[in-house]
Amino acid sequence: MNTYISSVINGVKQKYAHQPEFCQTVEEVLSSLEPVVERHPEYEKVDLLGRMVEPERMFTFRVVWEDDNGNWHTNTGYRCQFNGAIGPYKGGIRFQKNVNPSIMKFLGFEQTFKNSLTGLPIGGGKGGSDFDPTGRSDSEIMRFCQSFMQALYRYIGPDTDVPAGDMGVGGREIGYLFGEYRRLKGKFENGVLTGKGFSYGGSLIRPEATGYGAVYYLENVLKDDGQDIKGKTIACAGFGNVTWGICRKAVELGAKVVTLSGPDGYVYDPAGVCTPEKIDFLVAMRASGRNKVKDYADKFGVEFHEGEKPWGVKVDICMPSAMQNDVHLEEAKKIAANNVRYYIEVANMPTTNEALRFLMEQPDMIVAPSKAVNAGGVATSALEMSQNSERLVWTAEEVDNQLHNIMNTIYKNSVDAAMRNDLGYNLVAGANIAGFERVADAMMQQGVF
């Protein structure tokens, strides 16, 4: 491997050995960049890669909140403003008990490349808290969000840093966060957050966008492979907003999602999560705060596999859409043994590097990376920002058309970037390279800092 790339990867692994997810993403992305870095020896002189793996700014803050019994709790809040070279920092907020600096940095790093790939003017950021929303009442969630924003509001803004939702943060939380921001600032700056409710500046199609975008990307893959999406079976993981969007778009195009998963196990519904009743139930299940996918099996009388993951189910397409490191080598081997041809990552970094390498080595398998596949969510957030700054509202059709075009372009740019660099049809390396080139170019033009 190129010596500059390997020295940066090794440096990160030594310095941040206690941040495994961050080391993992740095290794995965940087090792794809060999042909580009070889062509640009000037990058080493200004330590471009060394600067890219260090967040521009990252901070923690104290979040104190009162539960319904009058007891007070203290959590850690985070915001990682990873790279602002091509636009204001942009990326979601995650509320989950395992949130830590490694998870924040891995997500912020991935976001930088993903946002660049959209072609829109958004830098990379991420935030969150180790707060666990499971089983918390609506008032508790509101108080937590208000306290979180009291600490964060000074450091964000429509041209500075624009947070959005992620795991544990949906429309309800964004509403409470926005309300508190407005109260503190005394201004209606709705461009400060995306994923807002439609009544106060949200964009139509934003809730569906990540799932729809993933299916639009999948359609590109299938088309280039001479296949039709109609009649295909899909294994999904998770049962949140992203999976919901995939289910809806898949049904519309004649495909079906047959698995869902949660922390308690997975469900197998051979008839597919197809009817409006089933799809709506996902929303209710998520809103209940119980975080149990077994509720779906109980309601619709389908198989529930306690404590297991859905990756052993025979399907045409796997779309891991739950969370990071869901698919290890063991699961990857099951997927390959089932002759699955399309492995389309959806959640951020759902595959360990070892499993990803294994899957990419399978001669008959096509692997697509999450930073391209799930980019429709943040891309539609950028469309929400445009509407906010124009003080306009676009129709659902306008937003959906733009999303569709953006996904087609992301796919095409990834394919082209790999081809240009003699890597063949490699969607993983292509996405990394295409995302990297734009940020690298902007950083080179802006001077060294």
- Residues taking part in catalysis: 126
Residues 323-352 contacting ligand GLU, CB under 6 A: 348
Under DSSP, is residue 151 helix (H, G, I), strand (E, B) or coil? Answer: helix
Task: Dig out the tokens for 219 from the structure.
Answer: 């359609």
- Least distance (Å) from ligand GLU to the CB of residue 47? 28
Query: In the complex with ligand GLU, which residue's Cβ is closer, 194 or 388?
Result: 194
| Nearest Cα residue to 284 out of 254, 324, 249, 240 | 240
Note whether 91 binds ligand GLU by CB under 6 A. yes
> Distance (Å, rounded) from C-alpha 238 to C-alpha 374?
14
Segment contacting ligand GLU (CB under 6 A): 138-146, 197-205, 376-384, 407-415?
A: 376-384
Segment contacting ligand GLU (CB under 6 A): 43-51, 87-95, 255-263, 397-405?
A: 87-95
Note whether 378 binds ligand GLU by CB under 6 A. yes
DSSP 153: G
Helix (H) or strand (E) holding 92: strand 89-95
- Least distance (Å) from ligand GLU to the CB of residue 379? 8
In the complex, which residue's CB is closest to ligand GLU?
92
> Distance (Å, rounded) from C-alpha 34 to C-alpha 203?
39
Segment contacting ligand GLU (CB under 6 A): 54-62, 245-253, 320-328, 373-381?
A: 373-381
Q: Of 92, 170, 207, 430, which lies in the binding site for ligand GLU, with binding defined by CB under 6 A?
A: 92
Question: 199 Cβ partners below 8 Å, 6+ apart?
Answer: none
Note whether 295 binds ligand GLU by CB under 6 A. no
Task: Dig out the tokens for 30 from the structure.
Answer: 């940087």
Question: 173 Cβ partners below 8 Å, 6+ apart?
Answer: 93, 95, 141, 145, 165
Task: Dig out the tokens for 261 from the structure.
Answer: 């998963």
Total binding residues toward ligand GLU, as defined by CB under 6 A: 10
Note whether 119 binds ligand GLU by CB under 6 A. no
> Distance (Å, rounded) from C-alpha 431 to C-alpha 234?
23
- Least distance (Å) from ligand GLU to the CB of residue 377? 4
Q: Of 194, 388, 414, 426, which lies in the binding site for ligand GLU, with binding defined by CB under 6 A?
A: 194
Query: In the complex with ligand GLU, which residue's Cβ is closer, 166 or 295?
Result: 166
Query: In the complex with ligand GLU, which residue's Cβ is closer, 111 or 220?
Result: 111
Note whether 90 binds ligand GLU by CB under 6 A. yes
DSSP 304: E
Note whether 166 binds ligand GLU by CB under 6 A. yes
> Distance (Å, rounded) from C-alpha 326 to C-alpha 352?
8
> Distance (Å, rounded) from C-alpha 13 to C-alpha 18?
9
- Least distance (Å) from ligand GLU to the CB of residue 378? 4
Segment contacting ligand GLU (CB under 6 A): 86-94, 139-147, 316-324, 417-425?
A: 86-94
> Distance (Å, rounded) from C-alpha 210 to C-alpha 208?
6
Segment contacting ligand GLU (CB under 6 A): 170-178, 216-224, 309-317, 375-383?
A: 375-383
Query: In the complex with ligand GLU, which residue's Cβ is closer, 168 or 262?
Result: 168
Query: In the complex with ligand GLU, which residue's Cβ is closer, 93 or 443?
Result: 93
Note whether 220 binds ligand GLU by CB under 6 A. no
- Least distance (Å) from ligand GLU to the CB of residue 330? 26
> Distance (Å, rounded) from C-alpha 305 to C-alpha 267?
6
- Residue 230 burial by Cβ neighbours in a 10 Å radius (0-12, 13-18, 19+): exposed
| Nearest Cα residue to 365 out of 339, 385, 345 | 339
Query: In the complex with ligand GLU, which residue's Cβ is closer, 91 or 207?
Result: 91
Helix (H) or strand (E) holding 82: strand 72-83
Segment contacting ligand GLU (CB under 6 A): 89-97, 216-224, 325-333, 392-400?
A: 89-97
> Distance (Å, rounded) from C-alpha 20 to C-alpha 321?
21
Query: In the complex with ligand GLU, which residue's Cβ is closer, 133 or 377?
Result: 377
Query: In the complex with ligand GLU, which residue's Cβ is closer, 101 or 202?
Result: 202
The backbone torsions φ and ψ at residue 101, rounded to the nearest 5 degrees and listed phi first, read -60, -35
C-alpha angle 346/288/348, rounded to 5°?
Answer: 15
Sites of contact with ligand GLU (CB under 6 A): 90-92, 164, 166, 194, 348, 377-378, 381
